[in-house]
Structure 1
């Protein structure tokens, strides 16, 4: 249920905090915590396990990018950037630091609600899948979703919750081609619309963690103008 989800909103604009808080409460999200500074946000995260974090980029005592990186040292909770900084570079930076998605200001608060619902629904579905003891074993990596464990060439590699969800999607559909829109719908949520860069940046991060050649990938292959295909590394044992 919505009222069980713990949400942290970090923004130095009090008006935006109030707008989001009022909108979310109308949609039956009741466990909402707010912060206006980086320090305040980190203090909340140290004491509470949140289900989702909404994060502005411009803060009075630092930027949201460095805060996102610090959060990732303590939490795997989905992070949704909401920012007036809308350049491709800013979005790339936010997602590269560990963000799961990026919404541009000004925004429709109902769009934020839709994204939150999609993220929480995907979390529930992913958690239910992970109750089964499925493991994906390949020549270069082994992935145990139920343990949130990714081993690449025998060594554990940290992956965010969204990266693990994306990896499981590919492992469950080897050698199939998916467009970026299809991947976004299946991994981020079918009733919201994202941008191509959200998918491409996450795939680029996943390639690096899997040891795939970023310039000439062999595992997560980009078919230009068509989409992406997961090709299991040779000698898989699955």
Structure 2
């Protein structure tokens, strides 16, 4: 599916030129004359990027940018005849990702659109990568709190998940029972550190091939010989 771009601009000539150049590059484009209609459109069909004029009838572009940014991190490119430094700073401070002064080259706008989409995708991929930790056959999805071993999902309790997360994020490091007790149960827990041993037993029962090692007289660690992904 092509990226969808919302263009908020009241000048029909600019509308036509921008729309034509973006469509030529394969983007889906929706053109709106004012910020009120754009805001209503946003409630039902959310573009992947906004190209936004500042000087609009009714609600101006600054206010629209602020409203969008309160709800989403969708990329926003501001286009404006206002070329003073203070105008650019205000637009960026209100959440704009880029600022292009009129008159501008349509080709430059397209280049900035592509660059911003590429940067946004890199950030999304980075976040997704940070949300998943893989060690050998074990994968932990921290965002969805799911555990996979050898491509099979296993149901785990909250504390089982917490222990596995701690151990995979600190691969090959030995944790004492007391450290694990504090990290998983909290400072105010007054029970025995045998609770840690019981938790390890439950994990080993569910994942018998997991290299969860006992460090005798001390605690536990998750062993891994290669590089962490």
Q: Could you say which TM-score interval applies, normalised by the shorter chain?
A: 0.5 to 0.7
* Structure 2 partner of 1:5: 3
* Rounded Cα–Cα distance in structure 2 between residues aligned with 1:9 and 1:146: 33
Conserved? CA contact 1:81–1:102, under 8 Å: yes
What do residues 181-219 of structure 1 show as CA deviations (whole Å, max 9, x unaligned)? xxxxxxxxxxxxxxxxxxxxxxxxxxxxxxxxxxxxxxx
Which portions of structure 1, spanning 4 or more consecutive aligned residues, are displaced by more than 3 angstroms? Answer: none
Conserved? CA contact 2:69–2:95, under 8 Å: yes
* Structure 1 partner of 2:157: none
* Structure 2 partner of 1:59: 56
* Structure 2 partner of 1:24: 22
What do residues 43-67 of structure 1 show as CA deviations (whole Å, max 9, x unaligned)? 1111112211000000011211111
Query: TM-score, normalization: structure 2?
Result: 0.56
What do residues 157-192 of structure 1 show as CA deviations (whole Å, max 9, x unaligned)? xxxxxxxxxxxxxxxxxxxxxxxxxxxxxxxxxxxx
Shift of 1:134: 5.8
Whether 2:63 is the aligned partner of 1:78: answer: no
Conserved? CA contact 1:130–1:146, under 8 Å: no
* Structure 2 partner of 1:140: none
* Rounded Cα–Cα distance in structure 1 between residues aligned with 2:37 and 2:99: 22
Shift of 1:146: 6.9
* Rounded Cα–Cα distance in structure 1 between residues aligned with 2:79 and 2:43: 22
Q: Which has the higher contact order (CA 8 A, sep 6+)?
A: 1
* Structure 2 partner of 1:121: 118
* Structure 1 partner of 2:36: 39
Whether 2:79 is the aligned partner of 1:107: answer: no
What do residues 105-155 of structure 1 show as CA deviations (whole Å, max 9, x unaligned)? 0000000100010111112222222222369xxxxxxxxx979xxxxxxxx
* Rounded Cα–Cα distance in structure 2 between residues aligned with 1:132 and 1:26: 33
* Rounded Cα–Cα distance in structure 2 between residues aligned with 1:15 and 1:56: 13
* Rounded Cα–Cα distance in structure 2 between residues aligned with 1:51 and 1:109: 19
Conserved? CA contact 1:132–1:146, under 8 Å: no
Whether 2:89 is the aligned partner of 1:92: answer: yes
